Amino acid sequence: MLPPFPENLDKDQEKQYTAAWWNIFFLVIGSIKALLLVICVIFVFLLFDIQPTAFWKKKEINYTTKSTYVPIVDADDRIENGIHVSSGLKFDENFELVRANCTACHSGKLIAQNRATREGWQQMIRWMQATQNLWDLGSKEPKILDYLEKHYAPQEVGRRATIDVAEVEWYILNIE
């Protein structure tokens, strides 16, 4: 198993030589064991879909799976058809920001009833800041505007429907 000893070794040297080979042998076995362990750990992580980064990353709320959104504090925090029932606001990204900053003085329904462009919403915010003591929204303002623009934009009128020629009642224009 071991390569042949060099010639002319005395008993002690022979022992040392053998021991050295055994050391190398165990080192190799130990490395293979460590490697197998690492592979096993990776395998377990893959098998159970564990993401190691999840341990130190902040959990992101997944707004698309509304039914699994957990932090429901009271019964009024129900979400139905994507609408947060008690405030009447769309439950989506930045909802918490809007709830925190926009429902202190009036109901969220006042917001949900209104439609405006981003600029329009910004003007309303400026108006409330100038006359109603609404505070400075700072870096939260763009996010709040994102939310308002996304959900409470003016309804699009779209194209007029195509004319169904067969259905039109034609008449002769009488110019006189």
Of 15 and 106, the one with the shorter C-beta distance to ligand HEC is 106
Is residue 99 within 8 A of residue 140, CB to CB? The reply is: no
CB of 85 to ligand HEC, least distance (A): 19
126-161 b/e (C-beta count within 10 Å ≥ 16 → b):
eeeeeeeebeebeeeeeebbbbbbebbeeeeeeeee
Amino acid sitting at position 25:
F
Ranges within 84-103 binding ligand HEC (CB under 6 A): 101-102
Using CB under 6 A, pick the residue from 128, 143, 146, 149 that binds ligand HEC. Answer: 128
Q: Is 106 in the site for ligand HEC (CB under 6 A)?
A: yes
Query: How would you classify residue 40: left for phi > 0, otherwise alpha for psi between -120 and 50, otherwise beta?
Result: alpha
Using CB under 6 A, pick the residue from 84, 95, 111, 151 that binds ligand HEC. Answer: 111
Quote the CA–CA distance of 73 and 163 in Å, as a whole number: 52
Q: Is 130 in the site for ligand HEC (CB under 6 A)?
A: no
H-helix or E-strand spanning residue 84: strand 83-84
Tell me the window of 52-60, 88-96, 123-131, 167-175 that interacts with ligand HEC (CB under 6 A). Answer: 123-131
How far, in Å, are 81, 108, 149, 161 from residue 75 at the CA level? 16, 17, 28, 44
CB of 96 to ligand HEC, least distance (A): 13
Q: Is 83 in the site for ligand HEC (CB under 6 A)?
A: no
Of 13 and 114, the one with the shorter C-beta distance to ligand HEC is 114
Binding mask 142-161 for ligand HEC (x = CB under 6 A): --x---x-------------
Point out which residues bind ligand HEC (CB under 6 A).
Answer: 101-102, 104-106, 110-111, 114, 124-125, 128, 132-134, 144, 148
